[in-house]
Amino acid sequence: MPHIHIKSFKTLAFPARYDDIEFAFMATNLDHNDEHLIATKAQGKDFFLLVKDVKEKKLLKSDKISRPSSTYLVKKALLAYADASGCKKLESNVNDDEQNIHLVKNSALKTIHYFAECFPTGKEVRIEVGFGSGRHLLHQAKKNPDILFIGIEIHRPSIDQMIKQINIQKLDNVMLLDYDARLFLELVPSNTVGRIYVHFPVPWDKKPHRRVISETFIKESIRVLMPDGRLELRTDSDNYYDYAFQTFNTLNYMHIEIFKNRDISVKSKYEERWRRQEKNIYDIILHNKEKSPELEDPGSFDFPAEKYDMAKLKELNGTTHRFKGGFIHFERLYKTNDDRYLFRLSMGAFERPEHLYLLIGKDELNYFPSAPIRSKGNLKAHKILRGLLHG
């Protein structure tokens, strides 16, 4: 990821602006005062830049939790801060090249809140989880112009490559999302999706809890699939195939097809390599045969309008609070230059927690830069969080 090594860190007089980049405030880690977060806005995107000590120099990069999908915006913000503050650059992998002409238009890339607030309806939707190189997603989108395809991916270079291809090929039926697919499904209205593709997911042999396929994921897939819709898993891993087959078998009712070394119309570059190596490719296709109830409104992320006990924040710092099905972990506490506090949190369901920030003033409390998605696990954690802050 883009980063700059600087000789020494220099602060700005916040709030500040350099060219079209805004720097709202800075927050310093109370346990490690060599770590700072700089609240940044670029092209309407709010995120943090991170500064920390690395041996005898400072590292300036984007914060992992809040960083935008656009690498170009991150590079622009890093250069803007270094130039505005007068920090001496020692090493950098950031250039000041103009944005790639095929990335200037990135209307296909949506935020999770776009889908949460107004999920697209009116036509069949198909979802691909982890589209990688994008060969399959592009093939399907060109073949089915009347169907809307949503591609989900967390690998930033793959997202940029897909944006380029969408613009070059002038496709208007593809939307992209940089997010956890397991959480995303909880937002999708029932009975709206024709197919869900999960092609060659990471096996996670040593961390099976991180796998996309799980009993919960399969049940959510059945809920969002329209009758006769399909969930299609394709894997080259014997271990993942065995695990997935056992997981599908936990359903009370199912209609599945299983194929070994099935030939399909478009193959990824990795599949082509595996076939040359005579490696087995497995398909498990779940056919949905039921209509699911409509998705209920799970609630909101409101906080009471009252004063907060700042001393209690320090007591919560570093603590973990478990509840049935999930947890809240107060990872780090920061203090801002304008005497507010910022908590870095992990919260939600054990198998798919959300990582976010909580900005706290004497009379304010808000998630920053935005609220978590309205999943059942997150809302349950939110209610417990309110109790911890006010209890």
Give 229-257 as a DSSP string.
Answer: EEEEEEES-HHHHHHHHHHHTTSSS--EE
- φ, ψ dihedrals at 153, nearest 5°: -155, 145
pLDDT along the chain (391 residues), means of 10: 89 94 97 95 94 88 87 90 91 68 67 87 94 93 97 90 93 93 90 96 88 92 96 94 94 90 80 82 94 85 79 91 94 95 93 89 86 86 90 65
What are the pLDDT digits (tens) for 242-277? 999 999 999 888 899 999 998 888 877 777 777 788
CA distance 115 to 373: 10
The confidence score (pLDDT) of residue 22 equals 97
The confidence score (pLDDT) of residue 333 equals 96
Cβ(248)–Cβ(288) under 8 Å? no
Eight-class DSSP state of 63: -
CA distance 388 to 360: 14
Residues 6 or more apart whose CB falls under 8 angstroms from that of 367 comprise 301, 356, 357, 358, 359
pTM of the model: 0.74
The strand pair at 193-199 and 225-235 is best described as parallel
Residue located via tokens 């989880």? 129
Which one, of 316, 319, 322, 370, lies nearest residue 341 by Cα?
Answer: 316
CA distance 71 to 68: 7
Cβ(69)–Cβ(156) under 8 Å? yes
CA distance 242 to 239: 5
The confidence score (pLDDT) of residue 98 equals 52
Residue 316 is encoded by which pair of tokens?
A: 């919560």
CA distance 387 to 391: 5
Query: What are the Cα distances from residue 26, in Å, to 31, 44, 200, 337, 355?
Result: 16, 18, 41, 6, 19
Eight-class DSSP state of 147: S
Residue 163 is encoded by which pair of tokens?
A: 């944006």
What are the pLDDT digits (tens) for 286-307? 999 999 999 887 788 988 877 7
Residue 320 is encoded by which pair of tokens?
A: 């973990």
**Torsion sign, CA atoms 43, 44, 47, 51:** positive
CB atoms within 10 A of CB 363: 9
The confidence score (pLDDT) of residue 102 equals 45
